[in-house]
Amino acid sequence: MKKIRHYLKPYALRMSAGLLIKAIGTIAELALPLVLAYLLDDGENAVVKDAFSLFLLGGAMLALALIALFGNIIANRMASKVARDSIERIRNDLFTKTLQLSARQTDSFTIPTLISRLSSDTYNVHNMLGMMQRLGVRVPIMLFGGLFLAFFVEPVLTLILIAVLPVMLAIVILIARKGIVYYGKLQRSVDGMVRKVRDDYTGVRVIKALSRTETEAQSFRETAGKVAEDETKAGLITGMSNPVVNLLLNLGMVAVVLIGALRVRGGEMSPGKIVAFVSYFTLILNAAMTVSRLFVTLAKGTASGKRICEVLNSTYVEQESFAKPQNADAHIAFENVTFAFSDAIALNDVSFFVRRGEKLGIIGATGSGKSTIVQLLLRFYAVNSGGVFVDGQNVNEADISKLREKFGIVFQNDFIMRGTVEENVDFCRNLPRENILRALQTAQANFVAEKGLDFPLEAHGVNLSGGQKQRILIARALAGDPDILILDDSSSALDYKTDAALRAAIAREYGDTTVLYIAQRVSSVRGCDKILVLDGGRAVGFGSHAKLCEQCGIYRDICASQGGDVYD
Amino acid sequence: MTDPNRRRKKANGIWFSRHKKKRDAGKVLAQETPKKKSGPLTGGRIGKRAALLRLGKYFLRYKRAVAAALLLSLASNLLALAAPLLSAAAINAVSAKAGVDMAKVIFFCALMAVFYLLSSALSYALTYVMLRLSRNITRKMREEVFEKLLSLPVVFYDTRLAGDILNRITYDVDTVNASLSNDIIQIATSIITVVGSLVGMLLLSPLLTSVFAVILPLTVFVTVRRSKVMRPLFRKRSAKLGELNGYSEEMLSGLCTIRGYGREREIEAQYALHNADAANSYYTADYVGSKVGPTVNFINNLSTVLISVFGGWLFLLDRIRLGDISAFLQYSRKFTGPINEFANIISELQSALAAAERLFGILDEAPEQDPQDALLLPAKVRGEVTFDRVCFSYERGKPILKDVSFSAKKGQTVAIVGPTGAGKTTIVNLLMRFYDPDCGKILLDGVDISQYTRSAVRSVFTMVLQDTWLFEGTIFENIAYGKESATKEEVIAAARAANIDRYIRTLPQGYDTRITDGGANLSKGQKQLLTIARAMVSSAELLILDEATSNVDTRTERLVRDAMALLQRGRTSFVIAHRLSTIENADCILVVQGGEIVERGKHAELLANEGFYSRIYNAQFE
């Protein structure tokens, strides 16, 4: 939370000015009943003896009301401004930080929580910042100023207030706290329901095929029942707050009238004060009632603020490795690389190298460490031991953005953003048109010719088929004329024919580019200059197709399982 | 009124409205899947009035609860309303000149305490009744929507985004209920309070009431203006916030790519633009909205001033008693409260009705139709399937299948190959009667399958699809899903046949291991094996394998292939695969291209033909 406060610092002056205005407005509002008390006092020392002074006092009250109106409006506007400016900065910083997190940090936060931190958490903090400035001052002034003035008017009756207030506050806070717990529970059962619907939505063919709709309906009834139950529980708790607070407030009022009457009888106060006091009572206790709202917003905002700060404050120092290359003329070299994500070893003593312009195929089962190679190459992660070298330089010592500029990559399950085909291929790089067209052509994205470069793509490319998506992504990787092209399982949705055409076109058009083909299909890598065979994080084979067919048992195995004749 | 409940829902609403925009900006490029959209449902909009009437019916189902609620709210409000009159009487008994009638004061104070106590008790009882009522209605609605969903044809799922439907079943139902049940009570309370306090004021002093009448137009003016000004501002605010959140969600899903291409700066700049937009529209709505509170307070204060001054004047003239002024002040505050709430209620009702329209849109969708006098499926199905000149299109004018005919004999394996979008998946969709052909017939053992019910047709098939669908539940439950009342032995036998039994046994909880998040804790190959096991459990005579091997790693693939071969034994099978090696032994290979069968025959025949098949077959070795 310190960090959030730090964001408010530049606005300290504006904030305190706003709060001051707010305080003036609130005090004006508080003073109203004070005037009323004089006005209605029919005791010995009554001020109101004639119509003139009556209207004079009325005018004073009106003036106070106007001060309250404008003071509050101006202050609220200032508060909104401060809240806007600070949340805008918080959000920008949070987003920037999120993009700059190391891959390890991203893994530990996970993408969904980063998304919710950016959306609902900043929303909660925004709410809190606004409300705290608007009500955070008003409520305490109303409460304590009210108490003070009430004391000034009639000290004995104030004791009733002092007795009622803490009880009420305690109850309100207790209920709000309980409520938060119950709503948390409710949220979880709602999550369960959402999961159920999502599950069935994706599995509708299976459900229908197996005629299991009745079972599904039954299990949904249970889930929905649980949600309904939790909703009722939460509602019953929070629903208690209004009647209880009302009751306390009203009983206090009864006490004021009763004790007031006793004191009037004893000649200790004038009857007009009872009227004024009742007005105070309403005012102060209404303020006390907003405390519950304030409390909920504050609790939510604080929790969210913490989650935001976790990201903003997170630091991670990558392990340093300054190994020197043994094979300096290789374009890419892995030398005795060992790497683990957390405790599971992903790559174990892996070495290989590629010369400029060569094509390297990497093949192996899911989880054998293929994609890890890409992540180390781009320095998303640092190695645990050994060294990764590009152009003879240890990637650990390279300037990250310069290093990454050399690459054109298609990741597994890569993403298409909302925008035109051209924007997706260009990917904010302002590339010349020719490059984009050439890349699209090479990527076999002939369908684009039909639709045009301006064809709008949906987020995640939902209006493209899997094969079309992959071709756009490949074009994106090619368009930057990269030194090194990495295609990670990125032609799996293409049929063999298109896949073959694609590989031929890349060889023709981007002959100087070093290419890494990562695949599960032998046919995708067999034409490469070298093939790296991975198995359980170890390099079990490295060489040409023919060489591997002779020497590498696992490679032969893979070939056979895919129906290819090894010696054809 | 502070209702944290309602506030929570409002806040949530913002997060879930974002999927609804700009979905139909692009046309689908893929030929084989219909376009996903989230626009109005084909069930159509039914209009606000009709929606209101239908909502009314839900409430009528719980007549007694509704009646009790109204009665309770009437009683509790009347009690609360009567109290100021009592306090007036008590204060009137106190006078500096005439002395204090203590007995009277105590009597009225006691009465007041009782009234307030009862009022609070009744209002909590009301909360209870309303919560139960809304719980029942919410549950009913959700169940109805869900059951409806399951009865809808697959085309509904293919053309709509899951998020959209999720919104309806969760937040739309919530909105309808939260606001309806709250608003009905609020409206009742408001009317009672307004009328009651007006009566109270008139009883106390008709003269002062006429002074108060000056305030009334001001209140009405403020209320009307406020709702006019605020609504578009709030709409804009949630739209902009939705855009911002959508943007960050989208970009974070491509985090690797952005980092890989080093495009952080550019994306941040984009984000900052969205952010400024969202912050500004939030600000506008915020500060305009925050004028309301002080304005309402001002009106309240103004009426206090007017009443005090004129009340004081009347008091000087001895035309009114002190207690009456106090009570009058209390009534005047009560009076303005609901009027200001009214604008809120109206806008909430509107959003509730919009949500209700969306819900009824789903409930009005046409379910899958079955023939009235459907034939009964024979007890024993042989498993011969014939496509007789079948044509089909998802969108008018874009035929997917043109005049397709073929047949499969009992126990045969028919493989379907061809490029993406050629119509392979469509053949499966028609077989399973997820869709119906536009013309031509599909025969099962010589009978047109449209004469059976859909569920009867489906019951003769078992399938393994490319999307390995596993649900939240144990491994046992997921396998047993293939057959109603599958026994433990059957499940284990199926798992063994599917080569997954050994793996399951290595898990600490074995068959009771929970599958979470669609099987995130399993590899693709293991998921595939589980779905094969599920298909094994079934005793259906026909089998569909849809591109089932294309996503499996090479190690597991052999296990999968063996399992599938076992699964195919004795069943008439339809296999769709990209990997030609898996279908070389098929009895018949259909090569589909552009919606037509361009070649058919056994592997060797097709290779000898040197046509399309041999070209794609050889392409893998180029």
How many angstroms from the chain centroid is the CA of residue A415? 19
Inter-chain touch B524–A366, beta carbons under 8 Å? yes
Q: Which residues of chain A does B290 touch, with a Cβ-Cβ cutoff of 8 Å?
A: 73, 76-77, 79-80, 130, 134
Q: B316 burial class (0-12, 13-18, 19+ CB within 10 angstroms)?
A: middle
Residue A562's pLDDT band (boundaries 50, 70, 90)? Answer: low
The neighbour count for residue B574, using CB atoms within 10 Å, is 25
With a CB cutoff of 8 Å and minimum separation 6, the contacts of B502 are: none
Name the nearest CA neighbour of B464 among B553, B536, B383.
Answer: B536
Inter-chain touch B580–A563, beta carbons under 8 Å? yes
Least confident range of A196-200, A463-467, B439-443, B493-497: A463-467
Q: Tell me how far apart the alpha carbons of residues B336 and B216 are, in angstroms, rounded to a whole number.
A: 8
Q: Mean per-residue pLDDT for A283-290?
A: 72
Inter-chain touch A62–B260, beta carbons under 8 Å? no
Does the beta carbon of A202 lie under 8 angstroms from any beta carbon of chain B? Answer: yes
What percent of chain B clears pLDDT 70, i.e. is strictly above it?
Answer: 84
Among A190, A263, A264, the residue to mutate for chain B (most B Cβ within 10 A): A264
Inter-chain touch B138–A231, beta carbons under 8 Å? yes
Q: Which residues of chain A does B465 touch, with a Cβ-Cβ cutoff of 8 Å?
A: 205-206
With a CB cutoff of 8 Å and minimum separation 6, the contacts of B535 are: B462, B463, B464, B482, B543, B567
Inter-chain touch B250–A417, beta carbons under 8 Å? yes
Least confident range of A15-19, A156-160, A374-378, B230-234: B230-234
Asked if the model's pLDDT at residue A567 lies above 50, the reply is no
CA of A96: which chain B residue's CA is closest?
B268
B622, A500 contact by CB (below 8 A): yes
Inter-chain touch B458–A380, beta carbons under 8 Å? no
Residue whose structure tokens are 């989230």: B38
Burial pattern A51-74, b for ≥16 Cβ within 10 A else e, equals eeebeebbebbbebbebbbbbbbb
Q: Which residues of chain A does B454 touch, with a Cβ-Cβ cutoff of 8 Å?
A: 208
Percent of chain A as helix, strand, coil, to the nearest 5:
65, 10, 25
Asked if the model's pLDDT at residue A475 lies above 90, the reply is yes
Inter-chain touch B26–A200, beta carbons under 8 Å? no
Inter-chain touch B330–A282, beta carbons under 8 Å? yes
Asked if the model's pLDDT at residue A42 lies above 60, the reply is no
Give me the CATH topology for the region A332-406+482-561. Rossmann fold (3.40.50)
Interface A:B, Cβ pairs < 8 A? 505
- pLDDT tens-digit profile of B304-318? 888 888 888 888 788
Q: Which residues of chain B does A217 touch, with a Cβ-Cβ cutoff of 8 Å?
A: 143, 146-147, 150
B332, B218 contact by CB (below 8 A): no
Mean pLDDT across chain A: 84
The residue type of B611 is G
Q: Which residues of chain A does B311 touch, with a Cβ-Cβ cutoff of 8 Å?
A: 40
* Nearest Cβ partner for B124 among A81, A240, A282: A240
Report the phi/psi class of residue B453: left, alpha or beta, with left for phi > 0 and alpha for psi in -120 to 50. beta
Length of chain B as a residue count: 622
What is residue B253's predicted lDDT score, i.e. its pLDDT? Answer: 78
DSSP string, B80-116: HHHHHHHHHHHHHTEETTTEE-HHHHHHHHHHHHHHH
Measure A213 CA to nearest chain B CA, in Å: 6
Q: Is beta strand B588-593 parallel, antiparallel or unpaired with respect to B596-601?
A: antiparallel
B563, B369 contact by CB (below 8 A): no
Q: Which two tokens stand for residue B412?
A: 């045969």
Among A495, A558, A565, the residue to mutate for chain B (most B Cβ within 10 A): A495
Q: Mean per-residue pLDDT for A273-281?
A: 76
Residue A366's pLDDT band (boundaries 50, 70, 90)? Answer: low
Least confident range of A69-73, A109-113, A139-143, B501-505: A109-113
Report the phi/psi class of residue B511: left, alpha or beta, with left for phi > 0 and alpha for psi in -120 to 50. alpha
Q: Tell me how far apart the alpha carbons of residues A264 and A44 are, in angstroms, rounded to a whole number.
A: 12
Asked if the model's pLDDT at residue B33 lies above 50, the reply is no
Measure B106 CA to nearest chain A CA, in Å: 7
Residue B11's pLDDT band (boundaries 50, 70, 90)? Answer: very low
What are the distances in angstroms from CA B347 to CA B137, B183, B354? Answer: 21, 11, 11
The neighbour count for residue B532, using CB atoms within 10 Å, is 28
- pLDDT tens-digit profile of B74-83? 898 888 888 8
What is residue A483's predicted lDDT score, i.e. its pLDDT? Answer: 93
What is residue B5's predicted lDDT score, i.e. its pLDDT? Answer: 40
* Nearest Cβ partner for B305 among A65, A127, A561: A65
Measure A99 CA to nearest chain B CA, in Å: 6
Q: Tell me how far apart the alpha carbons of residues B214 and B235 are, in angstroms, rounded to a whole number.
A: 33
Q: Which residues of chain B does A303 touch, with a Cβ-Cβ cutoff of 8 Å?
A: none
Mean pLDDT across chain B: 79
Q: Is beta strand B439-444 parallel, antiparallel or unpaired with respect to B447-448?
A: antiparallel
Q: Mean per-residue pLDDT for A378-384?
A: 89
Q: Tell me how far apart the alpha carbons of residues B363 and B141 are, in angstroms, rounded to a whole number.
A: 10
> Helix (H, G, I), strand (E, B), or coil: what is residue A536?
coil
Inter-chain touch B419–A58, beta carbons under 8 Å? no
Among B1, B2, B24, the residue to mutate for chain A (most A Cβ within 10 A): B2
Asked if the model's pLDDT at residue B20 lies above 70, the reply is no
Q: Mean per-residue pLDDT for A259-285?
A: 79
Q: Mean per-residue pLDDT for B185-190?
A: 82
Q: Mean per-residue pLDDT for B217-235?
A: 80
Residue A211's pLDDT band (boundaries 50, 70, 90)? Answer: confident
What are the distances in angstroms from CA B233 to CA A161, B239, B252, B285? Answer: 40, 10, 28, 5
What is residue A40's predicted lDDT score, i.e. its pLDDT? Answer: 66
Q: B217 burial class (0-12, 13-18, 19+ CB within 10 angstroms)?
A: exposed
Residue A565's pLDDT band (boundaries 50, 70, 90)? Answer: very low
Q: Which two tokens stand for residue B212?
A: 């108060």
Q: B202 burial class (0-12, 13-18, 19+ CB within 10 angstroms)?
A: middle
- For residues A429 and B15, the model is more confident at A429
Inter-chain touch A262–B25, beta carbons under 8 Å? no
Q: What is the DSSP letter of A314?
A: -
Q: Which two tokens stand for residue B490?
A: 């059957």
A477, A514 contact by CB (below 8 A): no
> Helix (H, G, I), strand (E, B), or coil: what is residue A389?
strand
What is residue A336's predicted lDDT score, i.e. its pLDDT? Answer: 92
Inter-chain touch B11–A127, beta carbons under 8 Å? yes
Asked if the model's pLDDT at residue A21 lies above 80, the reply is yes
- pLDDT tens-digit profile of A160-181? 888 888 888 888 888 878 887 8
Residue A334's pLDDT band (boundaries 50, 70, 90)? Answer: very high
- pLDDT tens-digit profile of B569-578? 888 999 887 6
B530, B470 contact by CB (below 8 A): yes
Q: Tell me how far apart the alpha carbons of residues A177 and A237 are, in angstroms, rounded to a whole number.
A: 10
> What kind and span of H or E run contains B8?
helix B4-16
What percent of chain A clears pLDDT 90, i.e. is strictly above it?
Answer: 27
What are the distances in angstroms from CA B551 to CA A493, A521, A523, A536? Answer: 10, 10, 15, 18
What is residue B41's predicted lDDT score, i.e. its pLDDT? Answer: 41
Q: Mean per-residue pLDDT for B472-486?
A: 84
Measure B491 CA to nearest chain A CA, in Å: 16
What is residue A45's predicted lDDT score, i.e. its pLDDT? Answer: 45
Q: Is the dihedral of CA B460, B464, B466, B467 positive or negative?
A: positive
Residue numbers of A between 305 and 364 with CB closer than 8 Å to B: none
Asked if the model's pLDDT at residue A296 lies above 80, the reply is no
* Nearest Cβ partner for B298 among A68, A232, A520: A68
The residue type of B509 is Q
ipTM of the complex: 0.81
Inter-chain touch B316–A279, beta carbons under 8 Å? no
Q: Is the dihedral of CA A461, A466, A467, A471 positive or negative?
A: positive
Which range, A108-112, A558-562, B273-277, is most confident? B273-277
Q: A110 burial class (0-12, 13-18, 19+ CB within 10 angstroms)?
A: exposed
pTM as predicted: 0.71
Asked if the model's pLDDT at residue A542 lies above 90, the reply is yes
What architecture is domain A1-151+300-317? Answer: Up-down Bundle (1.20)
What percent of chain A clears pLDDT 70, i.e. is strictly above it?
Answer: 94
- pLDDT tens-digit profile of B287-336? 888 888 788 888 888 888 888 888 888 887 888 887 888 888 888 878 87
What is residue B14's predicted lDDT score, i.e. its pLDDT? Answer: 35
What is residue B166's predicted lDDT score, i.e. its pLDDT? Answer: 73
What is residue A291's predicted lDDT score, i.e. its pLDDT? Answer: 74
Q: Mean per-residue pLDDT for A222-232?
A: 89
- pLDDT tens-digit profile of B364-382? 888 888 888 888 888 788 8
* Nearest Cβ partner for B120 among A25, A68, A246: A246
- For residues B149 and B38, the model is more confident at B149
- What are the extents of the domains in chain A? 1-151+300-317, 332-406+482-561
- pLDDT tens-digit profile of A98-136? 988 888 888 888 777 788 788 878 988 998 898 888 888
Q: Tell me how far apart the alpha carbons of residues B154 and A196 are, in angstroms, rounded to a whole number.
A: 18
Q: Which residues of chain B does A344 touch, with a Cβ-Cβ cutoff of 8 Å?
A: none
B542, A523 contact by CB (below 8 A): no
